[in-house]
């Protein structure tokens, strides 16, 4: 085997191919052309005297050698990054796609602000905002997601690094002409007098409304949705109250929507905002920069 042909760029392409098991997705992730990826795969097959990936009815599958390489390559690439990482790191060096997975509330309140902050510091980077879901942690560990934001605490494997970057408080959002607009009100007054609705955030509140963990609802919410738009249309046209975060409320038009603050005497649990990334990159300057950037975006809006 001619090891001279196994430079780090080729190893990265190999690892991505073995992980994605798809030439198109690999090319997209790496930001290079599909013909380039196909040529590299052909060269690697010759170099290893093994097909590495074989087409089957369920898509591309790894050969036993491909599986061994997939197991070993993360540690090799991580060691290379640790050894040669630029000590003078600057975000302006980033020229790839950065993938963020966000909880539905955080997507609405902070998604665009994160995009603005990233592209201001790293103008040659692109940003992909993804919905946080049940497989997000696996995607972080597999390298398909750079950073995730969700409310905690979260049970996660030791390979996942979790950093608290903020705290959210929940309020009621209503139309500007609502009887409780701009007022402080008890949760009982809100829930027993007016219809309620809420945003569904997978891996956070998909099994019930946010306030249900602190209070007993006397009636079920009239609507829940994974999208904010239908909820706002309902709130603006009726007396329905939307349970949401203060940060999300601040993104809305103050002429159309108002806020109802839960009574100070009632304890409504705040939600800790956790930033998550692969623990392999705990000492990475890029991860430190992303953590600091996200924290500054969230605290600026606090």
Instruction: Report the number of distinct structural domains present in the chain.
Output: 3
Percent of the chain with pLDDT over 70: 88
| Residue 149 and residue 213 share a domain | no
When mean pLDDT is compared across 25-34, 101-110, 164-173, 235-244, the lowest value belongs to: 25-34
Which pLDDT belongs to residue 149?
95
Please check whether residues 207 and 59 belong to one and the same domain: no
Give the pLDDT confidence score for residue 217 in this predicted structure.
Answer: 53
What is the tens place of the pLDDT at every residue in 206-235? 666 555 454 455 567 899 999 999 999 999
User: Domain with 245 in it: what CATH number?
Assistant: 3.40.190.10
For strands 196-199 and 223-225, give the pairing: parallel
115 and 31 in one domain? no
- In 3D space, the residue among 295, 301, 256, 299 whose CA is nearest the CA of residue 147 turns out to be 295
CATH of the domain at 47: 1.10.10.10
Domain end, chosen from 84, 108, 139, is at 84
Q: Region 175-203: what's the mean pLDDT?
A: 89
Residue 8: pLDDT band (50, 70, 90) is confident
Last residue of a domain, one of 59, 84, 109: 84
182 & 259 share domain: yes
135 & 12 share domain:
no
Give the domain extent around 23: 3-84
Question: Is residue 27 very low, low, confident or very high in pLDDT (cuts 50, 70, 90)?
Answer: confident
b/e per residue 87-104 (b: at least 16 CB within 10 A): eeeebeebeeebbbbbbb
What count of residues does the chain have? Answer: 302
33 vs 4, residue with greater confidence = 33
**Do 162 and 282 have their domain in common?**
yes
Q: Which of 84, 117, 146 is the last residue of a domain?
A: 84
* Global pTM exceeds 0.85: no
Indicate if 147 and 284 belong to the same structural domain: yes
Q: Which of 96-100, 185-189, 193-197 has the lowest mean pLDDT?
A: 185-189
pLDDT surpassing 70 at residue 50 = yes
Mean residue pLDDT across the chain: 86
In this structure, the answer to whether residues 255 and 213 fall within a common structural domain is: yes
Please check whether residues 182 and 260 belong to one and the same domain: yes
Do 9 and 67 have their domain in common?
A: yes
Taking the C-alpha atoms of residue 114 and residue 152, their distance in angstroms, rounded to an integer, is 20
Contacts of 297 (CB under 8 A, 6+ apart): 110, 113, 114, 117
Residues 183 and 265 in one domain: yes
| pLDDT over 80 (residue 63) | yes
Q: What CA–CA distance (Å, rounded) separates 51 from 21?
A: 12
The reply to whether 159 and 250 lie within a common domain is no
pLDDT of residue 273: 92
pLDDT per position as a tens digit, 97-143? 999 999 999 999 999 999 999 999 999 999 999 999 989 999 998 88
253-298: pLDDT as tens digits: 999 999 998 887 666 667 889 999 988 777 678 888 998 899 899 9
């Amino acid at each position: 085997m001619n090891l001279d042909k196994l430079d780090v760029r080729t190893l990265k392409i190999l690892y991505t191919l073995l992980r994605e098991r798809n030439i198109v997705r690999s090319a997209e992730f790496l930001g290079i052309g599909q013909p380039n990826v196909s040529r590299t795969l052909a060269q690697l097959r010759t170099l290893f005297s093994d097909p590495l990936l074989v087409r089957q009815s369920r898509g591309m599958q790894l050969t036993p050698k491909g599986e061994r390489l997939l197991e070993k390559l993360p540690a090799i690439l991580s060691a290379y990054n640790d050894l040669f990482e630029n000590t003078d790191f600057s975000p302006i060096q980033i020229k790839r796609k950065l993938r963020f997975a966000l909880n539905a509330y955080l997507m609405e309140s902070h998604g665009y602000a994160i995009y603005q902050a990233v592209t201001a510091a790293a103008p040659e980077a692109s940003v992909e905002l993804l919905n946080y879901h049940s497989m997000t942690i696996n995607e972080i560990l597999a390298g398909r997601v750079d950073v995730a934001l969700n409310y905690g605490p979260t049970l996660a494997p030791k390979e996942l690094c979790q950093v608290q970057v903020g705290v959210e408080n929940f309020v009621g959002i209503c139309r500007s002409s609502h009887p409780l607009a701009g007022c402080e009100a008890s949760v009982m007054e809100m829930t027993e007098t007016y219809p309620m609705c809420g945003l569904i955030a997978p891996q956070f509140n998909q099994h019930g409304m946010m306030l249900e963990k602190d209070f007993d609802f006397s009636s079920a919410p009239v609507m829940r949705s994974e999208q904010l738009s239908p909820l706002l249309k309902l709130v603006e046209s009726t007396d329905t109250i939307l349970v949401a975060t203060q940060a999300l409320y601040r993104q809305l038009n103050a002429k159309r929507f108002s806020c109802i603050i839960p009574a100070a005497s009632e304890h409504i649990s705040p939600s800790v905002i956790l930033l998550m990334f692969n623990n392999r990159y705990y000492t990475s300057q890029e991860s430190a920069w992303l953590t600091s950037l996200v924290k500054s975006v969230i605290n600026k809006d606090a």
